[in-house]
Amino acid sequence: MATVLITGTSTGIGQATAIHLARKGYSVIATMRNPDGYPELAQISKEEDLGIRILPLDVNSAESVSEAFLKAGPVDVLINNAGIGHVGPIEEAPLDQVQAVMETNYLGALRCIQAALPSMRERREGTIINITSVAGRLASPAHGIYAASKFALEAASEALAAEVVQFGVRVAVVEPGVIATPIFGKAAEPETPTHYPHARRMKALFEASLENPVSPFVVAEKIEEILQNGADQFRYPAGPDAAPLIAWRNGISDKDWIASGGLDDKAWVSEMKATFGLNIQLD
């Protein structure tokens, strides 16, 4: 079976993908910034005899990326999953937080792509799967910084796919909706006090969506589908709310989308209830 290198496997989607693909017989190299601090994956691999190889890799460090790929050797599949969240309005976003989000979510993926691609190109085969988000297709108020990083990764992925097709290398993006992962707890909290209601609304929307949690293994199964079907599809929404969210945004004019940001709390809650059936409780 193919050798798969996955970034950001300490928890969430990355960990679930490593476990799922190893169970399916893939040779998995799971990377994370601090393996000693997150022993769960190693324990599961040992208990189930999955043979997952775990390497330290900090996507924010060119040296770390180079060392990890040197140890890994040629890989057949690269899955760029490492990422961090952010919630807060543009005006009030500290630029060091903005830089951190872009560094991990966008530049981190590019570092790994540049490390993996030469071997794929020379062998004229390989697959690169970038985990973006529905936020790579729609930018909600108070989610602009995170969305910008995912829009950027979507754009780079689209260009990359057209660049490397001549070498037999395939590129795909997976766009998860709201998935039950620690990223929501790790997102940088907005500065207080704030002039904007949207961060509070975004937090309440996530909480309402997670009342019926979607397992990260749903995304892992979508990744396996990509590896198995060999189709030419480029974008893969993942999770029950992903495609509806994207369709919802595509069905709204830019004028109406922007105007919705000016709704008061009561009107916004009513719209979320009518559109998605979510019972949102605002503090």
Rounded Cα gap, residues 123 and 120, in angstroms: 5
Q: Choosing from 106, 146, 196, 236, which is the catalytic residue? A: 146
> pLDDT tens for residues 105-144?
999 999 999 999 999 999 999 999 999 999 999 999 999 9
> pLDDT tens for residues 85-97?
999 999 999 999 9
Rounded Cα gap, residues 150 and 232, in angstroms: 21
- Residue 181 and residue 138 in contact, taking contact as beta carbons nearer than 8 Å: no
**DSSP class per residue in 207-262:** HHHTTSPPPTHHHHHHHHHHHHH-----EEEESTTHHHHHHHHHTS-HHHHHHHTT
| pLDDT value, residue 30 | 98
> pLDDT tens for residues 148-188?
999 999 999 999 999 999 999 999 999 999 998 876 555 55
Q: Hey, what are 89's tokens?
A: 């309005």
| pLDDT value, residue 185 | 57
CA distances from 49 to 92, 93, 217 (A): 48, 45, 19
> pLDDT tens for residues 18-60?
999 999 999 999 999 999 999 999 999 999 999 999 999 999 9
CA angle 228, 229, 233 (to 5 degrees): 130
How many helices, marked H, and strands, marked E, lie in the chain? 12, 7
User: Is 38 an annotated catalytic residue?
Assistant: no
8-state DSSP, 70? H
Dihedral pair phi/psi, residue 197, rounded to 5°: -90, -5
Which domains occur in the chain, in start order?
A: 3-199+212-251 (3.40.50.720)
